[in-house]
Structure 1
């Protein structure tokens, strides 16, 4: 991935704000974070009022500060994922803090079960360590707002650490389960399916939490309890379902090979009249046209949509280069590219046509995204 600096910078996800970077990794905050910060401030305000009576509106300000400290520990959790991923050679695109915690965008799938295991488990371990350290500090912290912050930090991180070890995707514990099944069966897709079902079961179990409050703790759940349970269950169910769908799609990737999908290509001078280029292509039964220099160096790929949109009566008066897209970086791919590598290459540099070349630099043909999509829908055949 040494060419990343020369590649287009991916756009920031909508609804996010960049607040900085850690080790070159962008740290993003979703706009929903401000909602959760306000909610946390509202929920901890009574406890702050109990410890420091008479603060008035400042108790809510203290609540917002507590929310920032809490999400600082969430950031540590995500940074640990990022550092472990980088240790194994996986690029990290960004870290995003959102309504339900955080997410580390790691590029590519784990290559080995142990990579999956350690990248996943380091996050909950970090939360448990932070929670344990805060718990130890609680015993030596004097009464007051600082002690409230320390006890909240301890409770939240211990809870996050334990819950994240629940064996169901999209939780870290789900990735740990995936790595175990993967290691036992040698099949990463089977591991994802098993961990996905674990996430679905967990989502259903979360919905039963209000019943647990009433029957076990004799506490009547309020509207906030029902709302949080519903949001968390939906997050788990949709995350697990998305992971399972992605795994099923990835099973079809190995059969997706660029070489047999390439269209036969005709090379022509860039100043050749378009009508003549089309005539020659039809005569040669070529499905694509590439413009080249006098020495044979590829310059551009004729865009099919632009060609079809050009009236036939105008084609004799236009040069072929007028409807060709320049072959920029990322539009030339090796003819043997296949599977996930092919999909990643297409997503990194979106276009309608790509030039496939052999190892010696000769042109093999032109690959279109329409043909790739069609082959993928048909199972890669």
Structure 2
């Protein structure tokens, strides 16, 4: 439940490199933002239908089997409320020009994938708070509607269920721990007090991890205490499983938020001049063994193929070199192990941070030629070196 560039907010009972593939069944594009329903939603919809249908048997026994159709309509209406919660986040994000990639309705609520970080603590706070605020408003509206109908009727039961569920959504999302909205609000407060976004993220992430443990052990205990000695083994098992799944989601979301924050903090420090390897230039017909000898003498970590005029034409792939057995290297020409130097494989030395990652995403490869402002070769960027730098940053280790 994380996004490497921006943030994701959650709604419902449990309410990343970003994925570009579709996130489920496309339901529409309100305000230009695609809304997807993931396959996991059908699992929770079936569970809600079963559990709510069982409760309806006690409240409205005359419904018979029709109660499950009523329960299904409640599940759909509840997730429509979750969608309103997420659209509130979306509208504020669009107002702040942060961009929203998509909204997903899934097993434990909804997720809004916001592309950029809020620029100030105040905007971060409002962006997070508006979702629970809308859920509170919906709960109030369903309460007012409930006053106009008989409680022991289908409309009364549905309105009561929607009122309670929206209040639960609001209350749960206000808990101060990542990845919940309350965690984002806590992050904004700590950010505002310290002036450091990272300090806010660390505080909210650890609060989220603590919250996950409370959910894991606390919810089953509370449910057991409320139900008393008549509680069935099936009910206990369901509560334990749901608590465990919810705790894992919260823990992973909190940990993911911390990793993503470290990644964002590390991005501005990415410099091609520091990442690029020294390269040796060799003709395409040079035997691999000879090319490796020249590279060792020059203390170079990469090889560039050049033509007769000395113009770079290709990059030797490190993975291909490592795949050639030692005894074959004198007989294999480096040109057979190289990738043709396309325009997207030429990087300006001045690229750094987000601009560097954008250029790499445009033309995926394992090696890139780094050029000085005058067009001469500076070195070669090996993608594995960049990945090691980012992995160290995400793990909180020195590069």
| Cross-structure match for 2:248 | 234
Could you say if the C-alpha distance between residues 362 and 77 of structure 1 is closer, same or farther in structure 2, counting changes exceeding 3 Å?
Answer: farther
| Cross-structure match for 2:140 | 132
Residue from 362, 365, 376 that aligns with 1:351: 365
Structure 1 residues 175-190: aligned runs within 5 Å: 175-190=184-199
Residue from 89, 94, 113 that aligns with 1:105: 113
CA RMSD in angstroms comes to: 3.7
Deviates more, 1:154-163 or 1:197-206: 197-206
Which secondary structure state, in structure 2, belongs to the residue aligned with residue 229 of structure 1? helix
* 1:67-89 alpha-carbon deviations (Å, 9 max, x no partner): 11111111221222223223323
For residues 173 and 305 of structure 1, the distance between their equivalents in structure 2, rounded to whole angstroms, comes to: 46
| Cross-structure match for 2:4 | none
| Cross-structure match for 2:15 | none
Could you say if the C-alpha distance between residues 106 and 296 of structure 1 is closer, same or farther in structure 2, counting changes exceeding 3 Å?
Answer: farther
The size of the alignment, in residue pairs, is 367
| Cross-structure match for 1:39 | 47
Structure 1 residues 1-381: aligned runs within 5 Å: 10-12=20-22, 16-49=24-57, 53-141=61-149, 144-206=153-215, 207-213=217-223, 222-223=235-236, 224-248=238-262, 251-265=265-279, 272-275=284-287, 278=291, 282=295, 286-290=300-304, 300-309=314-323, 311-316=328-333, 320=335, 323-327=338-342, 329=344, 331-339=345-353, 342=356, 346=360, 350-358=364-372, 363-376=377-390, 377=392, 379=397, 381=399
Structure with the larger helix share: 2
Task: Give the Å deviation of 1:250.
Answer: 5.1
**Contact 1:27–1:94 (8 Å) recurs in 2:** yes
Task: Give the Å deviation of 1:174.
Answer: 0.3
For residues 52 and 226 of structure 2, the distance between their equivalents in structure 1, rounded to whole angstroms, comes to: 24
For residues 95 and 166 of structure 1, the distance between their equivalents in structure 2, rounded to whole angstroms, comes to: 22
For residues 88 and 310 of structure 2, the distance between their equivalents in structure 1, rounded to whole angstroms, comes to: 50
**Contact 1:253–1:380 (8 Å) recurs in 2:** no
Task: Give the Å deviation of 1:293.
Answer: 8.2
Could you say if the C-alpha distance between residues 297 and 90 of structure 1 is closer, same or farther in structure 2, counting changes exceeding 3 Å?
Answer: farther
Task: Give the Å deviation of 1:177.
Answer: 0.5
**Contact 2:50–2:71 (8 Å) recurs in 1:** yes
* 1:186-244 alpha-carbon deviations (Å, 9 max, x no partner): 11111111112222332333332444456578686532333333333333233223333
Gaps of 5+ in 2: 1-17
Task: Give the Å deviation of 1:101.
Answer: 0.6
Which secondary structure state, in structure 2, belongs to the residue aligned with residue 56 of structure 1? helix
Gaps of 5+ in 1: 1-7
For residues 332 and 386 of structure 2, the distance between their equivalents in structure 1, rounded to whole angstroms, comes to: 29
For residues 90 and 135 of structure 2, the distance between their equivalents in structure 1, rounded to whole angstroms, comes to: 14
| TM-score of the superposed pair, with normalisation by structure 2 | 0.76
